[in-house]
Structure 1
């Protein structure tokens, strides 16, 4: 299981390679939410999402001879790009397994970063099985998107930064809302906060219909989503919480919050209007929870992790159109 020492070690490996992303705020968002709202802008991280942290953490920790053989990952796009860049910067080949319905910009960016992209049908094919088969056939090391201690440790460095930035902003009591798929970012942040900022509590946020983590925390048992796709929040659509991440979230996180696709789109628009940042819907669900589900939050302040900004132009246009409604 990942521990705080893993995250602190990952922070040392990431030093000078990952960006320290800002904690943003706007009085206009505060007014909507009814409390102070802070946004950790991981959309400004390399490759446009927090995933670079975990990817660099995993690739940099590999033995050089094993790394030289190459890495493989499966992702709808953000983990794909993070691994592709981390591998390229380490002069290692990368194969990325992506769903055929992933946003075009994510597929194109992953290829542009030098990775070989293998597309699959997420409704009928098993990405884990594809990854295991290719790994065995070509001697590649599989870097999972969330169920890997080194990946979780890298994502947890986001929490270390939040803890330091909270001191500067005089935030002592706050829920930290995290866009959640398999739980790598959420569990990593939870571990970091439990050690470095005990007044801050991580909480997962998911889209309607893909709230497996929220239901798992509520029932105490691992839950699975009925569908494999169908949400505009593609970046955080996963079948079930991770084997490593769920126990961490059960021990350290507050209850989950579930938002609609429409709320995610409105949050994308408001993030652009008030903070001047570009988010994808899956990277905006935490902000949507703060703005539109305030009744489920009792702390005077709330911190939202804006986890990614790799949005297709047509989806971004749909989001901006909500400003006229």
Structure 2
């Protein structure tokens, strides 16, 4: 199911009452550096639970029946969906169990537990970590009677994440502006699915760029082939939240006809973007949240004379880890 515009608006009407209205930051420095007429950054790093993920998680939990909500939910996540779902569950009084890979950032693990969720760790060895974690989540769902939720492959998650796009569109319009180009980070595709639909319905002329780490460009490869592709297991990326090896079916269906195109960034570019975001915008982004800014700064997309929107998706990073990445920029 591809959510309609009415569906997106209904979801946003609910989630906007429970989430932060994150600001839209205009940067003259980034505009000068890239040749754009204007550059706007939407820092979802300032969102409740530190990323956009709480939007989709809150909306998805609101779709549970009273009996499902009483039993609780289980999901797997490397961190940001874990925190968003845990925070939403705490707010709604719904028990949440999260399966996390053992190599997920400690800060994200501790924050998830801090929102009251039960955290179960998995050791994936040489296997793809999302496969092992998802298997464990399914096992827990069967044995404990919990509702199994997917972190991104769910049309309701896509609808909830679309609030980022709807909100940005309203903020741009309030300034008498519209985006020519949007850069958005991509892991499994829940965020880009919602953002792409929002712009497809309301600003169809806007060019949409899906930004993935090198080696994890499952969405870009899928768009090129016209079917869902799975990337081979390869070297890790510092963009921990974007290391999905394939896009979800629901997000892929949502973006397939939106004119979206893929782009990749390497770790060095992401580190530099983290440094620039801190120095120019005074925001601390995790690597995954800085990938979209890295894509803009790479110069691979000609934005001269254009109005650019950058979705900075999250800021869940420990201070020591942030400093280590920035020092190597």
Could you state the TM-score of these two structures normalised by the residue count of structure 2? 0.93
Distance 2:225 2:255 in 1: 13
Tell me, yes or no, if structure 1 residue 290 matches structure 2 residue 317: no
Partner residue of 1:117 out of 119, 134, 156: 119
The alpha-carbon deviation at position 312 of structure 1 amounts to: 2.5
Q: Within 5 A, what are the aligned runs for 1:1-325?
A: 1=1, 2-35=3-36, 36-122=38-124, 123-124=126-127, 126-227=132-233, 230-295=236-301, 297=303, 300-322=306-328
Distance 2:19 2:235 in 1: 31
- CA gap 1:295/1:12 in 2 versus in 1, 3 angstroms: closer
| 8 Å Cα contact 2:75-2:134 kept in structure 1 | no
Could you state the TM-score of these two structures normalised by the residue count of structure 1? 0.94
- CA gap 1:177/1:248 in 2 versus in 1, 3 angstroms: same
Distance 1:98 1:132 in 2: 13
Unaligned runs of 5+ in 1: none
Distance 1:245 1:27 in 2: 33
User: Number of matched residues?
Assistant: 323
The alpha-carbon deviation at position 185 of structure 1 amounts to: 0.5
**Residue by residue, what CA displacement relative to the aligned partner does 1:229-270 show, whole Å, maximum 9, x if unpaired?**
611000111020111111222211421111111111111111
Secondary structure at the aligned position of 1:133 is classed as helix
| 8 Å Cα contact 1:157-1:188 kept in structure 2 | yes
**Residue by residue, what CA displacement relative to the aligned partner does 1:181-201 show, whole Å, maximum 9, x if unpaired?**
111100111111122223323
Q: Which consecutive segments of 4 or more residues in structure 1 shift more than 3 A?
A: 294-299
Distance 1:90 1:242 in 2: 26
